[in-house]
Amino acid sequence: MKSMEILFEYNRKFYPAEIRQDAGDSPQEQMYHIQMDEKSRHVAARACRDHVFLMKVGDKSYRVHFASKGEERFLSINGRNYVLKRSVESDHEPGTSPADAAQDLTAPMPGKALKIFVKNGDMVEKGDPLLILEAMKMEYTIKAHCPGKVIDLELNPNDQVEMGQILLDIAPVEEII
């Protein structure tokens, strides 16, 4: 079956993983074997409508919202956003942020800026809510991934955003001291 090495990005940290597609129980269901670090999982996935599928891992089921842009896959599972990318040569260790990682926050999927809680110049702490995007009749809170100063915010409430569009930048505390 097909096998692919990917970089799994979560909270600006990268984790290598291998995904192998296995034979499903039915044409509507896809089966996958995922190897990440020392952990191995079997996952069943079944599409239920455009950009939404049901995923079963062990005895737990999840509704997953899915979008793609080029080789990147964007997943939203229980309000947490994930990015999957085809693996490329990388000089950073698994579970660490690359040294030159951008501090900008991007839209995980197309939608509308519903509420904006910050303005340029505001100081934020890691985890502070910055704005709420509305996509596919769901609200996604975009939170600060590091402490710092909000810069380059050019959104207004009700602005439409594209997947991957930069929403704002955060200048990390060490850069503004």
- Residue 168: domain span: 104-176
pTM of the model: 0.46
Do 113 and 39 belong together in one domain? no
Q: What is residue 120's predicted lDDT score, i.e. its pLDDT?
A: 93
Do 78 and 127 belong together in one domain? no
Q: What is residue 177's predicted lDDT score, i.e. its pLDDT?
A: 46
Q: What is residue 174's predicted lDDT score, i.e. its pLDDT?
A: 59
Q: What is residue 67's predicted lDDT score, i.e. its pLDDT?
A: 79
Do 79 and 110 belong together in one domain? no
Q: How many domains does the chain have?
A: 2
Residue-wise pLDDT for 92-140, tens only, equals 344 434 433 435 678 877 889 999 999 999 999 988 999 998 877 788 8
Residue 47: inside a domain, yes or no? Answer: yes
Residue 60: inside a domain, yes or no? Answer: yes
Amino acid at 62: Y
Residues of the chain below pLDDT 70: 1-2, 10-12, 24-27, 70-71, 86-104, 173-177
Q: Cα–Cα distance between 45 and 159 in angstroms, integer?
A: 33
Residue 130: inside a domain, yes or no? Answer: yes
Encode 8-39: b = buried (16+ Cβ within 10 Å), e = exposed: bbeeebbebbebeeeeeeeeeebbbebeeeee
